[in-house]
């Protein structure tokens, strides 16, 4: 409540009904508790307000399009970052008393994703290479309803559409979720995604349909304006047409291991948001909880960094930069990432098994031995972290589903996976240090 009010004070315009904040319901939630802004543009509105606030602060220097390559660690402490200056087009270093990673997730690892092009896992890879512990990397969430058209990106059709009464149908027009779960379309995302995959296989199709036709066009235009206009661009009317959908990678529950105040296993390095794993999402995040996570842990990490390092004096020492072949990066990055994305989708996707995972890991190890640039190296590193953990966990839990181990096994596997450079996967009962 505190941080929501702070956002409102900073100018965030959440939707209201009769002057009061409006709430909606999404999958696996028991009641209406989710705020939204401009119908279906909540994230965009929050970012707008935060950026505007940051620009007002004289102590904040924004450097858009700076490409961070690695963390600077000296005497087991993170003291800065190396990056490519977008104006000088040259490598630079910034030294600081503390560094907070807010670099987002790694949805682009997969061929089909709802994530933006920048969600390539660079922050995770940089932290891992610097020596930070990584937790629960096997848990990847696939959103059930991404728009599935040959000539369109995998645009997210919000969970709230099903929360407002949308239903899923197969090619015969049959509502199929009663066959799979008593919670129907509002079952958790992993269950709905696997149900859609099962139905596509059963009916021999590449997608199913989201049906919103029980609602009026006026309501849908007001509640989902961005989705309405996007579908209209592709000649679909969400009030009258069945919308072709299929699952796509959406969110990483795993990430850089942090405590509940954003501290990583490296002194001076903090994190907030999807780049981290705090444990609050377990093995399967609930809809809309990631925005709350960003608000709460962003504030906590900032406060912890300021308090922990108030007496630390930065010593600007000559660091040893990592080798990075920029020319090579531009020539091979696209090909490498395309190969990895298809490999991850086909072998480390919604349904996993030991043989597919071993093949994927072997191919990723082969790719990693090439002379890769920074971006490609990061991409492959995170793919290997996900694949290695998925092969290690011989059970099914949350966003991780093994067809060869389809049941949850609390007796042997109720623990978090921990990965660190140069060490075998270990376990921990908690994420908090």
Q: What are phi and psi of 230, to 5 degrees?
A: -65, -45
CA atoms within 13 A on the CB side of 191: 16
Higher per-residue confidence, 50 vs 327: 50
Is pLDDT above 80 for 46? yes
Is residue 393 within 8 A of residue 402, CB to CB? The reply is: yes
Query: Last residue of some domain: 18, 33, 56?
Result: 56
Which pLDDT score is estimated for 322?
57
The pTM (predicted TM-score) of the whole model is 0.91
Give the per-residue pLDDT at 276: 98
What is the DSSP annotation of 21-45? Answer: E-EE--TT-SS--EE-STTT-HHHH
What is the pLDDT averaged over residues 102-129?
96
Two structure tokens written together for 186:
């509002």
Q: Residue 391 falls within a domain, yes or no?
A: yes
**Which band of pLDDT confidence, cut at 50, 70 and 90, is reported for residue 206?**
very high
Answer with the one of 33, 56, 79 that is the final residue of a domain. Answer: 56
Q: What percent of the chain has pLDDT over 90?
A: 78
Q: Which of 249-258, 325-334, 368-377 has the lowest mean pLDDT?
A: 325-334
The answer as to whether 433 is a domain residue is no
Per-residue pLDDT band at 1 (split at 50, 70, 90) = confident
Tell which residue, 307, 303, 262, has the closest CA to residue 280.
262
Query: Mean pLDDT, to the nearest integer, of 196-219?
Result: 95
- Residue 25's pLDDT is 79
- 46 — phi, psi (to 5°)? -65, -45
Mean pLDDT along residues 209-228: 95
Q: Is the confidence at residue 324, as pLDDT, over 60?
A: no
- Answer whether residue 320 shows pLDDT above 90: no
pLDDT in tens, 350-394: 999 999 999 999 999 999 998 888 889 999 999 999 999 999 999
Task: Examine the fold and report which residue of 194, 214, 249 is the final residue of a domain before the chain moves on.
Answer: 249
**Which sign, positive or negative, has the C-alpha torsion 422, 268, 64, 154?**
positive
Q: Are residues 208 and 226 in the same domain?
A: yes
Verify that 245 and 262 share a domain, yes or no.
no
Give the mean pLDDT of 159-169.
Answer: 93
Assess whether pLDDT exceeds 90 at residue 289: no
Residues 89, 195 within the same domain: no
* Contact by Cβ (8 Å): 343, 111: no
Residue 344's domain spans which residues? 67-139+253-428
Query: Are the CB atoms for 254 and 134 separated by under 8 Å?
Result: yes
Distance CA 258, CA 171 (A): 45
**Residues in Cβ contact with 326 at an 8 Å cutoff, skipping those fewer than 6 apart:** 84, 373
Residues 336, 342, 348, 352, CA torsion sign: negative
In this prediction, residue 118 carries a pLDDT of 92
The residue among 411 and 332 whose pLDDT is bigger is: 411
Looking at the structure, do residues 293 and 376 belong to the same domain, yes or no? yes
| Residue 201 in tokens | 């296989």
337 and 305 assigned to the same domain: yes
pLDDT of residue 307: 94
- Which residues are known to be catalytic? 189
* Average model confidence (pLDDT) across the chain: 92
- Mean pLDDT calculated for residue range 102-107: 96
Distance CA 2, CA 121 (A): 30
CA distances from 232 to 48, 55, 167, 170, 243 (A): 25, 35, 20, 22, 11
**Section 40-65 average pLDDT:** 92
Select the more confidently predicted residue: 64 or 344.
344
């Amino acid at each position: 409540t505190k941080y929501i009010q702070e956002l409102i004070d900073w100018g965030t315009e959440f939707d209201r009904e009769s002057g009061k904040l409006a709430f909606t319901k999404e999958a696996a939630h028991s009641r209406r508790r989710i705020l939204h802004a401009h119908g279906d543009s909540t994230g965009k509105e929050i970012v707008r307000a935060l950026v505007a606030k940051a620009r007002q602060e004289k102590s904040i220097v924004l450097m858009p399009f700076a490409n961070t390559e690695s963390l600077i660690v000296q005497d087991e402490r993170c003291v800065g970052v190396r990056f490519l200056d977008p104006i000088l087009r040259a490598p630079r270093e910034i030294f600081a008393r503390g560094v907070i990673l807010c670099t987002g997730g790694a949805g682009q690892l997969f061929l089909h994703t709802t994530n933006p092009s920048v969600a390539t896992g660079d922050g995770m890879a940089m932290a891992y290479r610097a020596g930070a512990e990584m937790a629960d990397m096997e848990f990847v969430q696939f959103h059930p309803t991404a728009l599935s058209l040959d000539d369109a990106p995998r645009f997210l059709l919000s969970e709230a559409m099903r929360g407002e009464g949308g239903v899923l149908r197969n090619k015969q027009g049959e509502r199929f979720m009663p066959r799979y779960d008593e919670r129907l379309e509002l079952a958790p995302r992993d269950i709905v995604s696997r149900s859609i995959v099962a139905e596509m296989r059963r009916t021999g199709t590449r997608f199913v349909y989201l049906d919103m036709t029980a609602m009026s066009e006026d309501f849908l235009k007001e509640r989902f304006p961005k989705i309405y206009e996007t579908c209209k661009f592709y000649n679909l009317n969400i009030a009258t047409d069945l919308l072709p959908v299929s699952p796509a990678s959406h969110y990483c529950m795993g990430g850089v291991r942090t405590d509940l105040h954003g501290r990583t296993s490296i002194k001076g390095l903090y994190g907030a948001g999807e780049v981290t794993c705090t444990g609050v999402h377990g093995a399967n995040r609930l809809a809309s909880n990631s925005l709350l996570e960003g608000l709460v842990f962003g504030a906590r990490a900032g406060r912890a960094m300021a308090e922990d390092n108030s007496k630390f004096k930065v010593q600007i020492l000559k660091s040893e930069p990592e080798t990075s072949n920029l020319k090579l990066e531009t020539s091979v990055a696209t090909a490498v990432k395309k190969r990895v994305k298809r490999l991850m989708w086909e072998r480390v996707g919604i349904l996993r098994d030991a043989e597919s995972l071993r093949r994927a890991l072997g191919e990723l190890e082969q790719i990693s031995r090439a002379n890769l640039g920074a971006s490609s190296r990061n991409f492959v590193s995170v793919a290997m972290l996900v694949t290695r953990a998925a092969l290690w966990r011989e059970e099914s839990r949350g966003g991780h589903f093994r067809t060869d181990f389809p049941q949850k096994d609390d007796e042997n596997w109720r623990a978090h996976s921990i990965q660190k450079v140069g060490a075998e996967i270990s376990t921990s009962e908690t994420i908090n240090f």
